[in-house]
Amino acid sequence: MKIGVFDSGLGGLLLLRAMVKKLPAYDYVYLGDTKRVPYGNRSQDTIYEFLEEAVEYLFKQNCQLIIVACNTASAQALRKIQKNYLPKHYPDRRVLGVIIPTAEAAVASGAKNTGVLATAGTVNSGAFVRELKKLDKKIQVWQEAAPLLVPLVEQGELKWAEPIVKGYLKPLLKHKIDSLILGCTHYPRLKSMIRKLVGKGVKVISQDEVVPAKLADYLKRHPEIEKKLSKGRGRKLLVTDITPEAEKLARNWFRKGAVLRRVYI
């Protein structure tokens, strides 16, 4: 059985690439909902509907474990999938998100006054604040919604990004943050720019640097899941819509020979 990775668009390919580098033996199936990206401005009910459809599709692709790379879906719909959907339909399979491991990494880094840059949906959910406070009641958390960044990254228009990123970072930096969580799988494309803008005094926590190690640890702690996973080094990239730009991004973000296949979920 395979490891599934789901994202609202192609940003999760950056996370998949890091996972494959850390854990190359496993078979992976990536599903990007490129037809309906972005999710950040959707209602909670709609996000849940989209996530349930994606999870069902990946389970039918013989996935034992699914990583919900989309922070918005992790924040708005994952808990309901885990508590209601899985026990009823797939009690022996698992769906994991990216918010809790990211919060754990932030607290482990010594963060005391942290900023969160994320989509409006993730910010409005309060998920990062909630998870960080569970780990450290005294931590100060400041959030900023950045709705323009996912479209810029998906369209490959990074030349326009710096002044926009500066605008989003300004209110966070006013709070003299000591760390910054990049709360979206698209943001690793901007992390070099962001690290330059925030300076060496702010630790930038990027999910492509956090999640692979957390997954490796999870599999070590859950041998009953790990032993079911096949190790054929397969990589299947599925999307709900294909454009020339999407194909270019897949080659740039994952690997040169990446081939996207359109599916209907």
Catalytically annotated residues: 70, 184
C-alpha–C-alpha distance, residues 49 and 42, integer Å = 11
Cα–Cα distances (Å) from 16 to 88, 117, 160, 250, in that order, read 28, 21, 26, 11
C-alpha–C-alpha distance, residues 175 and 178, integer Å = 9
**Sequential DSSP letters for 122-177:** HHHHTHHHHHHHHH-TT-EEEEEE-TTHHHHHHTT-GGGHHHHHHHHHHHHHTTT-
Buried b (16+ CB within 10 A) or exposed e, 200-215: eebbbbbbbbbbbebb
Residue type, 101: P
C-alpha–C-alpha distance, residues 187 and 115, integer Å = 14
The first and second tokens of residue 50, run together, are: 């989209």
Q: Are 99 and 75 in contact (CB under 8 A)?
A: yes
